[in-house]
């Protein structure tokens, strides 16, 4: 372990100690309450790097993994079941990983590190193995191995934000993390197809390497945490049962599940809505998705700024109302032009909604139980990922006579809009949160 730490420290030294900005040397340190985000930028950059690696890996697997799998089985249903296994693992692994990481005894590199040390190579192994498989059984095992490693890694890693940052910086930090997540998604979607054409295993090997590199870059953060000798990192974890009994965390889980239900349904059917419902080309559908992607990246820093100035709950409540109402209006047009006019505003509101839930979860969690809160967020996300596409598909199937001009696909907007408005109303139960 000492060798990777020395390598990581050398790589990070140029960022954290090796240059000057406005006459002051940057250095990696734990932030103080009230310290501006610009003073701890090196820490925020290092904390955000694994988000890029994880987003790149899971986006590549879920988008281009089916290209590998479909050659091993002629059943699209089997391919969908394997890729859809993400939701099933999100219902089991994150709660356990996050809660146990709260309760481990201290180690030289902190309580979260064992999970990251285990999850990173497991996930990277699944990525690297997949393109070399010759049977659907082995390929399916590679996909499942990736998801296990991903969800062992992710909740304890996200809990580091609450371990190291004061509450006043939660929203700003999550905005940075959302940008890294969007960048990982965008690079995977754009580069994955090109790399796949050069050599089929290439994008998966690169994804495994990026995940390893971004994890190594995180090691100085663990060293910084282990060297801290003050009381700013309290660990008084509640039991997992105690976390689930917290009324506000239960409300948060319901709200987050509704948001993710809506987002998963939208992702699954937006292309079909444009192509089959409106009769436009796949290229037009890609342009619509590009607008959403740009809004997501632009909305992340806006979310942090709004939350810092107006508070997490008011911002989430208002943007949920705008987002939900905008989705409902989508059921009315039968042509693409009105959709494109309203899409940027609705997508921007949706980006804010999808950026801030983690900060809200940490704000609601008892001190020292942030890992369990991160796991609860992933658990509720899993519910939405599993149920959203199923519900939207079922409603489209029975709505063709009511929305004949779009062959039933306009019903999608009603199914995904109502849960977001319901989430906005449920947020009123958290009204006394800072």
Tens of pLDDT, residues 147-174: 999 999 998 898 888 778 877 777 777 7
Q: Distance between CA atoms of 151 and 148, rounded to whole angstroms?
A: 5
Instruction: Give mean pLDDT, residues 129-155.
Output: 90
- Distance in Å from the first CA to the final CA of the chain: 40
Domain spans of the chain, in order of start:
2-227, 240-430
Q: 240-430: CATH homologous superfamily?
A: MFS general substrate transporter like domains (1.20.1250.20)
Q: Cα torsion for 56, 59, 64, 65, to the nearest 10°?
A: 100
Q: Residue 86 pLDDT more than 80?
A: no
Q: Distance between CA atoms of 224 and 74, rounded to whole angstroms?
A: 51
Helical ranges in 199-334 per DSSP H: 202-216, 219-227, 240-245, 247-272, 282-310, 312-329
Are 124 and 321 in contact by the 8 Å Cβ rule? The answer is no
What pLDDT shows up at residue 12?
47
What pLDDT shows up at residue 23?
41
Q: Same CATH fold, 240-430 and 2-227? A: yes
At 344-369, the pLDDT tens digits run 889 899 989 988 888 888 888 877 77
What pLDDT shows up at residue 172?
75
Model confidence band, residue 17 (pLDDT cutoffs 50, 70, 90): very low
Model confidence band, residue 324 (pLDDT cutoffs 50, 70, 90): very high
Question: Which helix or strand (DSSP H or E) is residue 434 part of?
Answer: none
What pLDDT shows up at residue 264?
81
What topology does CATH give the domain 2-227? Growth Hormone; Chain: A; (1.20.1250)
In sequence order, what are the beta bridge partners of 20? 25
């Amino acid at each position: 372990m000492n060798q990777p730490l020395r390598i990581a420290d050398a790589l990070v030294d140029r960022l954290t100690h090796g240059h000057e900005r406005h006459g002051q040397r940057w250095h990696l340190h734990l932030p103080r309450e009230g310290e501006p985000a610009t003073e701890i930028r090196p820490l925020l950059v290092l904390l955000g790097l694994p988000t890029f690696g994880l987003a790149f890996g899971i986006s590549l697997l879920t988008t281009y993994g089916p290209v590998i799998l479909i050659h091993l089985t002629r059943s699209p249903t089997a391919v969908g079941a394997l890729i859809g296994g993400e939701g099933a693992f999100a219902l089991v692994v994150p709660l356990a990983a996050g809660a146990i990481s709260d309760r481990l005894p201290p180690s030289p590199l902190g309580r979260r590190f064992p999970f990251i040390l285990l999850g990173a190579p497991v996930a990277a192994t699944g990525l690297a193995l997949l393109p070399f498989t010759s049977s659907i059984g082995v390929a399916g095992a590679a996909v499942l191995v990736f998801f296990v490693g991903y969800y062992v890694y992710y909740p304890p890693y996200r809990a580091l934000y609450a371990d190291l940052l004061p509450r006043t910086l939660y929203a700003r930090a999550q905005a940075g993390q959302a940008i890294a997540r969007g960048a990982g998604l965008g690079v995977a979607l754009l580069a994955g197809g090109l790399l796949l054409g050069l050599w089929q295993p290439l994008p998966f090997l690169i994804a495994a390497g990026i995940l390893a590199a971004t994890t190594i870059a995180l090691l100085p953060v663990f060293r910084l945490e282990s060297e801290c000798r003050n009381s700013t990192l309290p660990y008084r974890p509640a039991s997992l049962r105690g976390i689930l009994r917290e009324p506000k965390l239960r409300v948060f889980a319901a709200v987050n599940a509704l948001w993710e239900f809506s987002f998963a349904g939208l992702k699954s059917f937006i292309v079909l809505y444009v192509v089959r419902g409106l009769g436009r080309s796949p290229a037009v559908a890609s342009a619509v998705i590009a607008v959403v992607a740009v809004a997501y990246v632009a909305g992340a820093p806006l979310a942090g700024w709004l939350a810092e100035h107006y508070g997490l709950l008011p911002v989430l409540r208002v943007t949920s109302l705008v987002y939900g109402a905008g989705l409902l209006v989508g059921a009315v047009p039968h042509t693409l032009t009105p959709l494109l006019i309203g899409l940027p505003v609705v997508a921007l509101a949706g980006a804010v909604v999808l950026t801030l839930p983690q900060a809200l979860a940490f704000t609601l969690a008892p001190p020292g139980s942030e890992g369990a809160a991160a796991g609860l967020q992933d658990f509720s996300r899993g519910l939405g990922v599993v149920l959203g596409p199923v519900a939207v598909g079922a409603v489209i199937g029975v709505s063709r006579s009511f929305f004949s001009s779009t062959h039933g696909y306009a019903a999608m907007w009603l199914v995904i809009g109502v849960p977001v408005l319901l989430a906005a109303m449920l947020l009123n139960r958290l009204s006394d949160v800072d």
